[in-house]
Amino acid sequence: MPHLRPVRAGDAGAILDAFTASADMSRQGDVHDATSATEYCTWLRGADRRAYAVVDDGDDRMVGLVAVTIDDDNRSGWFFYWLHRSHRSRGLIARAAATLAERALRPEPNGGWGLERLELGHRVDNPASGAVARAAGFLHEGTERRKFLVDGERVDVLAYGRLDTDPAPSTPLLSWSDGA
C-alpha cells in the first residue's frame, strides 16, 4: 500500500536508480553515481529539511520524494517532489504532495509543523508538475519569466503557493510513518 516515511541513509541506491532512469531528473539535483546519491541523501536529511520517501509497494523501497526546505523565521517552506519514471501517471505523487502539504500547514498542537506558507515552482514545459501542485492545493501565483537556462534556452517558471488558510484539496491522502 502506498505510504510516506522519512528518507533514510539507505535510500541512496533508490535515489540513484530514479535519477538514472530519466533524463528529466537532472534538474532535481546532481546525482550521477553512488557517491553523489549518498551526498544528495545526506542533504535531504539536513536540519532545515523534512524529506519523505514515497513508497509504493510492500518492500519499503523509495520510489519518489516529497520534501520541504523550512524557513523557520518566516514559518514557510520551499516544497519539492519527484517520482521514479516507472511509477508516474497514476496520481501517486499528487497524493504524496497533498499529504505532506497538509502536515506542514497543520498547527503544531494538532500534530503538524505550524508552517503558514508553502511555495514551489516548475518549468512551463512541465505541465505534469503543475497538475501535482494543483492537486496538492497550491494556487498559481505568477510567472517568473526566463528564470532557468535549460539546454541554452531561457525557460519561464510558474510559481505556486499554498497558505495554511487555503482550503484543503479533495485529493486522497497517503498513510504516514514518522519512524525511520
Which sequence spans correspond to the domains of the chain?
3-174
* Interatomic CA distance for residues 154 and 151, integer angstroms: 8
Q: What's the pLDDT at 138?
A: 98
Q: What's the pLDDT at 176?
A: 86
pTM for this model (two decimals): 0.93
Integer CA distances (angstroms), 18 to 5, 57, 111, in order: 17, 16, 31
With vertex at residue 57, the alpha carbon angle to CA 101 and CA 7, rounded to the nearest 5 degrees, is 50
CATH 3.40.630.30 corresponds to the domain 3-174? yes
* The three three-digit cell numbers of residue 62, written as one number: 523509495
* Interatomic CA distance for residues 139 and 165, integer angstroms: 12
> How many other CB atoms are found less than 10 A from the CB of residue 151?
5
* Interatomic CA distance for residues 120 and 18, integer angstroms: 21
Q: What's the pLDDT at 27?
A: 66
